[in-house]
C-alpha cells in the first residue's frame, strides 16, 4: 500500500506539472500582463454576487444529499452535510478528473459515522444526473459552435470529453443498479495483494445496490434540484464575466443563457480523464478558444477562467480543518479497507 500511495503521489505530481505547464503556455500566448490588467480591474461587487450564487448552488447540492440520507434512515443536520460537501469540493479542485468530490462520502463516514454505502449512494445518485446534464448541455453547446463557427472535426476534443463522460455515467449507473455488471469484478477478490481490498469495495457496492431504490424514488426531486444548481452555477459564471466587463456577442438570446451551455461544455474538460489536476490548463484553454468565437479577447477569456476557478478554490478553503481530519484516515491502508 505504501508503494501504491507513492505511485499515486507521483501521478498527481506529474499531473500538477502538466497543468502548470499548460497554464504557463496559455499565459505566455495570450499575454500575462494583459491578464493581470483584467484581474486588477475586477468589479468586486459583481464578483461578490457570483459567490452568492455559487453558495446557492452548494446549498442545492447539499439538499440532494440530505434528501437521500433521510430516505436511508440517516438523520443528519444541514451543517454536517454542508461541511462534508465543502470537503469534497476542496479536494475536487486538486485531483485528476475532479474525483476528489467523492471525499464528501468519506467525510460523512469518518466525521459523522454515516454507513459507507449510504454515504456513497447520497453522492453517486445525484452525480449520475449531474453528468447526464453536463453531457447533454455540453453537446448542445458543441452543436451551437458547429452551427456558427466550427467545421466538422474541429470540435474533436469536446466530442472526446463528451464520450468520456458518457462512459463514466454508464459505468456509475451499472455499478449502482446492475448486479450482473458488479459480478464481472468478482475475479479481483481472488487476486493476490488486492483481493482483500477488492472484497471490501465490492461488498460496499452490493450494499449500495440494496438501497439504490431511493435514487429512483427521488428522481423528480433530484431533477428539480439539478435544474436549480445548474442555473445557480450558470448565473455565477455570468457575474464572474460581468465583473471583468466581458460581453458575449453574436447570439440571439440574453447572454446569461450562454453560460447555461458554456459552463457544462467547459466542465466536461475538467471531468475528462486527463493528465491534469481537475482539468487545469484544459478548461482555461477551452474557455479562451470558445469565448474568442463570441467576441471576447483571449486575455479577457483567460482572466475569466482563472477568476472563476480561483474564487471557487478560495471559498472551498473553509473546508481545510475538516479535510485535515479525514486525510489520515482516508489514506491509511487499514482504515481504507473498512470504508
pLDDT tens for residues 237-294?
999 999 999 998 877 778 998 899 888 877 776 665 555 555 555 677 777 778 888 8
When mean pLDDT is compared across 12-26, 128-142, 307-321, the lowest value belongs to 12-26
Name the nearest CA neighbour of 54 among 328, 244, 278, 316: 316
As a dihedral over the C-alpha atoms of residue 178, residue 182, residue 183, residue 184, rounded to 10 degrees, the angle is 110
C-beta of residue 202 within 8 angstroms of C-beta of residue 189: yes
Distance (Å, whole) CA 306 – CA 300: 10
User: Which CA distances in Å does 101 have to 61, 118, 160, 170, 244?
Assistant: 12, 16, 22, 19, 29
Q: What is the pLDDT of residues 152-190, one digit of tens each?
A: 555 566 667 667 767 877 887 888 778 888 888 888 888
C-beta of residue 138 within 8 angstroms of C-beta of residue 265: yes
> Residue 1: its pLDDT value, please?
36
Q: Which residue has the higher pLDDT, 284 or 151?
A: 284
pLDDT band at 335 (very low <50, low <70, confident <90, very high): very low
Enter the C-alpha cell of residue 152: 466538422
What residues have CB less than 8 Å from 162, skipping those under 6 apart? Answer: 135, 138, 139, 142, 268
Is it the case that residue 98 has pLDDT exceeding 60? yes
Q: What percent of the chain has pLDDT over 70?
A: 77
Per the prediction, the chain carries an average pLDDT of 80
Q: How far apart are the first and last CA of the chain?
A: 15
Distance (Å, whole) CA 339 – CA 325: 15
Amino acid at each position: 500500500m505504501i508503494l501504491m500511495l507513492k505511485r499515486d503521489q507521483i501521478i498527481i505530481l506529474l499531473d500538477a506539472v502538466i497543468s502548470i505547464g499548460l497554464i504557463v503556455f496559455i499565459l505566455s500566448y495570450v499575454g500575462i500582463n494583459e491578464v493581470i490588467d483584467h484581474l486588477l480591474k475586477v468589479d468586486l461587487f459583481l464578483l461578490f454576487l457570483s459567490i452568492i450564487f455559487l453558495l446557492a448552488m452548494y446549498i442545492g447540492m447539499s439538499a440532494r444529499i440530505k434528501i437521500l440520507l433521510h430516505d436511508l434512515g440517516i438523520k443528519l443536520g444541514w451543517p454536517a452535510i454542508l461541511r462534508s460537501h465543502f470537503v469534497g469540493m476542496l479536494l475536487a479542485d486538486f485531483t485528476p478528473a475532479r474525483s476528489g468530490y467523492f471525499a464528501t462520502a468519506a467525510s460523512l463516514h469518518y466525521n459523522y459515522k454515516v454507513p459507507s454505502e449510504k454515504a456513497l449512494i447520497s453522492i453517486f445518485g445525484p452525480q449520475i444526473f449531474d453528468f447526464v446534464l453536463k453531457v447533454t448541455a455540453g453537446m448542445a453547446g458543441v452543436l451551437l459552435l458547429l452551427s456558427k463557427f466550427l467545421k466538422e472535426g474541429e470540435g474533436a476534443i469536446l466530442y472526446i470529453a463528451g464520450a468520456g463522460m458518457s462512459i463514466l455515467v454508464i459505468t456509475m449507473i451499472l455499478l449502482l443498479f446492475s448486479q450482473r455488471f458488479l459480478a464481472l469484478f468478482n475475479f479481483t477478490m481472488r487476486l493476490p495483494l488486492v483481493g482483500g481490498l477488492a472484497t471490501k469495495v465490492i461488498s460496499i457496492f452490493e450494499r449500495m445496490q440494496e438501497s439504490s431504490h431511493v435514487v429512483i424514488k427521488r428522481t423528480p426531486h433530484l431533477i428539480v434540484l439539478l435544474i436549480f444548481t445548474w442555473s445557480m452555477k450558470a448565473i455565477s459564471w455570468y457575474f464572474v464575466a460581468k465583473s471583468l466587463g466581458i460581453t458575449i456577442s453574436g447570439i440571439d438570446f440574453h447572454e446569461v443563457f450562454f453560460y447555461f451551455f458554456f459552463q457544462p461544455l467547459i466542465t466536461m474538460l475538467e471531468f475528462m480523464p486527463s493528465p491534469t489536476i481537475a482539468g487545469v490548463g484544459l478548461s482555461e484553454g477551452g474557455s479562451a478558444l470558445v469565448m474568442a468565437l463570441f467576441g471576447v479577447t483571449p486575455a479577457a477569456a483567460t482572466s475569466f477562467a482563472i477568476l472563476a476557478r480561483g474564487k471557487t478554490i478560495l471559498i472551498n478553503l473553509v473546508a481545510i480543518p475538516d479535510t485535515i481530519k479525514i486525510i489520515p484516515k482516508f489514506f491509511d491502508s487499514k482504515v481504507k479497507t473498512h470504508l
